[in-house]
Amino acid sequence: MAKITYIEHNGTEHVVDVANGLTVMEGARDNNIPGIEADCGGACACSTCHVYVDEAWVPKLPAKEAMEEDMLDFAYEPDVEKSRLTCQLKVSDALDGLVVRMPEKQI
C-alpha cells in the first residue's frame, strides 16, 4: 500500500491509498481523480496518463523502459527528468509518499 498525492494542474490535491500491484494510473482512475485520462487502458500506447513526478522522487523510481521513453515523446510538454507514464509505474510500499503533478492537458 502506498499513499500517493496526485496534484491537478489547478493545484487541487488528492491524497489516496493505492494497493500494491496496481499502477499509479489505476490509483487515479479507481479514485475518480481527474487529469489522467489513460485512453489506452494502460497498454503504454497513448501517453494520456502522463504526469510530472515530484523532483525528490525522480531518482527513486525504476528507470523507464524504451517503450515508455518513446511514448513520452507524444505527451504534452514532456520533461526529460520528471515526466513518466503512470500506467508504467507499479505501486509497492516503496512508492509510499509519491507525489505526481498532472500536466496542463493530456494530448
Interface residue list for ligand FES (CB under 6 A): 25, 38-40, 42-49, 71, 85, 87
Closest distance of CB 107 from ligand FES, Å: 11
Taking the least distance from each CB to ligand FES, the nearer of 7 and 106 is: 106
Taking the least distance from each CB to ligand FES, the nearer of 1 and 43 is: 43
For the stretch 64-73, contacts whose Cβ atoms lie closer than 8 Å and that sit 24 or more positions apart, written own/partner, are 64/88, 68/44, 71/44, 71/45, 71/46, 71/47, 72/47
Dihedral (Cα; 61, 93, 9, 77), 10-degree rounding = 20
Taking the least distance from each CB to ligand FES, the nearer of 27 and 42 is: 42
